[in-house]
Chain A
Amino acid sequence: MDEDNPSKTTRPSAADVTRERETFVRTFLRKGVEFTEELLRENDDLRARVALLESDNAALRTQVKSDDAMRDVLRTIERLEQEKRSLLDRSSQLEQLTRRHEGRYAAIEQELNDLANLYVASFQLHSTLKPGTVLQHIKELLAQLVGAERFCVYVLSDDGTEAIPVGSEGLLESELLPIKVGQGSVGTVCATGVSSVKQGDPLGEGSVESPLAVLPMQVDGQTVGVISIVALLEQKHAWVQVDQELFHLLGSHAAAALLAAHLYQRQPDLLSALAGLGDGLK
């Protein structure tokens, strides 16, 4: 509008229009830039928020995984504990079985040992036809297997009335005297043929008159002599199981070995000694 003629409308000039247009465009562009910058800021904010959310999410996932892993570990532990209990039970059963077997093995070893002793003793007694050597073997058997320290071997006299000492260990000459059959411990066993063995742990020491054991030596049920055990070695305090077997062996085999050796001595030629055997066996 013109100020001098208010009723008349003034048309803007081209320059004004251009200026207005430029101003509009600048304003528009500026607003556009501001809007864009705002959008970019918001975008950055959103990106940051997304990153944060992703981080939280990852942490939560990790936590969940960790909890799952923990649960797995606990389950595994429980399973292993059960296996361990089962294995311990099995181990305990096997230990009991092993102990039973060990006990049985030890018992068998001992039996085998005892049988070996008896075999060797028997073998030694019958391995010679020299009376002196048989007697030596009897003494070794008493010392090394029975553990006798002082003992005497008697054989009956020709008339059967006395027991004559023929071999001994650890006894004085003065103690080695003939004993009347029927008198004292030795004489009684000569008469009855029944062994006399003291019991006890410790056995202590006996004497010539009262020995720890008197064992008859018999052939075909007939007493031909006795073995008298007066004392045991220091380290042996009592009889053991195999001693009873050894006494039994001595009782029969020692007498037979002595008798055979004695008879052979009368006829040292073996073939002559066999004369008539074949007929006797028919």
Chain B
Amino acid sequence: MMRQLLVFALQRVREVEVTEADDGVDGLRKLAGQRFDLIITDINMPIMDGLKLVKRIRSDEVHKDVPIIIITTEGSQEDRSRALALGANAYITKPIQAPQVIAKVKELLKLD
């Protein structure tokens, strides 16, 4: 559901093209095939959680500097600090507010 909401919201940003992944492993598979400018992930995901995914992305030569936004229900300061320490650029808590996500995407991609 979050993915659908995000896709719906990001389609309103003209300069952005969205590729979806089912989970962290699927995300890594897609990253191997193509270069992306920004990555959005949850933390609580099956197979590979978001924090492990962030760690893997930051060790990837092609995507190590790509901005990463985490969107999650985990709202504690500890979770936020841990995610940012691993290399995430932004940490947004649910319930999702699409304008907030769009603003952060535009900020990190340096769009108007």
Q: Do B94 and A233 touch across chains, with their CB atoms under 8 A apart?
A: yes
Collect the chain B residues with CB atoms within 8 Å of residue A147's CB.
Answer: 73, 94-95
Nearest B-chain residue to A136, judged by Cβ:
B1
Q: Do B9 and A141 touch across chains, with their CB atoms under 8 A apart?
A: no
B4 at interface, CB cutoff 8 A: yes
Give, as a whole number of angstroms, the nearest-CB distance from B61 to chain A.
33
A236 at interface, CB cutoff 8 A: yes
Q: CA–CA, A235 to B98, complex, Å?
A: 16
A207 at interface, CB cutoff 8 A: no
Give, as a whole number of angstroms, the nearest-CB distance from B46 to chain A.
13
Q: Which of A121, A140, A141, A143 has the most CB of B within 10 A?
A: A143
Q: Do B94 and A144 touch across chains, with their CB atoms under 8 A apart?
A: yes
Instruction: Evaluate whether A117 and B75 lie within 8 angstroms (CB atoms) in the complex, with A110-B99, A144-B94, A144-B95 already known.
Output: no
B96 at interface, CB cutoff 8 A: yes
Q: Do B1 and A236 touch across chains, with their CB atoms under 8 A apart?
A: no
Nearest B-chain residue to A145, judged by Cβ:
B95
B76 at interface, CB cutoff 8 A: yes
Q: Do A124 and B1 touch across chains, with their CB atoms under 8 A apart?
A: yes
Q: Do A116 and B9 touch across chains, with their CB atoms under 8 A apart?
A: yes
Q: Do A145 and B96 touch across chains, with their CB atoms under 8 A apart?
A: yes
Q: Mark B1-32 against chain A: 1 for CB-CB distance below 8 A, else 0.
A: 11011001100100000000000000000000
Instruction: Evaluate whether A109 and B99 lie within 8 angstroms (CB atoms) in the complex, with A143-B94, A149-B73, A233-B73 already known.
Output: yes
Q: Do B4 and A236 touch across chains, with their CB atoms under 8 A apart?
A: no
Q: Do B1 and A141 touch across chains, with their CB atoms under 8 A apart?
A: yes
Q: Do A146 and B95 touch across chains, with their CB atoms under 8 A apart?
A: yes
Residues of B in contact with A, size category: 10 to 19
Residues of A in contact with B, size category: 20 to 34
Q: Do B9 and A113 touch across chains, with their CB atoms under 8 A apart?
A: yes
Q: CA–CA, A208 to B95, complex, Å?
A: 22
Instruction: Evaluate whether A144 and B1 lie within 8 angstroms (CB atoms) in the complex, with A113-B9, A116-B8 already known.
Output: yes
Q: Do B1 and A145 touch across chains, with their CB atoms under 8 A apart?
A: yes
Of A112, A144, A236, which is within 8 A of B2 by CB? A144
B93 at interface, CB cutoff 8 A: yes
B81 at interface, CB cutoff 8 A: no
Give, as a whole number of angstroms, the nearest-CB distance from B102 to chain A.
8
Q: CA–CA, A106 to B76, complex, Å?
A: 28
Collect the chain A residues with CB atoms within 8 Å of residue B93's CB.
Answer: 233, 235
Nearest A-chain residue to B2, judged by Cβ:
A144
Q: CA–CA, A137 to B5, complex, Å?
A: 13
Nearest B-chain residue to A124, judged by Cβ:
B1
Instruction: Evaluate whether A235 and B75 lie within 8 angstroms (CB atoms) in the complex, with A116-B8, A120-B1, A145-B1 already known.
Output: yes
* 28 residue pairs bridging A and B, Cβ less than 8 Å apart: A106-B99, A109-B99, A112-B12, A112-B98, A113-B9, A116-B5, A116-B8, A116-B9, A117-B98, A120-B1, A120-B4, A120-B8, A124-B4, A144-B2, A144-B5, A144-B94, A144-B95, A145-B1, A145-B96, A146-B95, A147-B73, A147-B94, A147-B95, A233-B75, A233-B93, A233-B94, A234-B75, A235-B93
A residues touching B (Cβ–Cβ < 8 Å)? 106, 109-110, 112-113, 116-117, 119-121, 123-124, 137, 140-141, 143-147, 149, 233-236
Closest CB pairs A-B (n = 4): A235-B75, A147-B95, A234-B75, A113-B98
B residues touching A (Cβ–Cβ < 8 Å)? 1-2, 4-5, 8-9, 12, 73, 75-76, 93-99
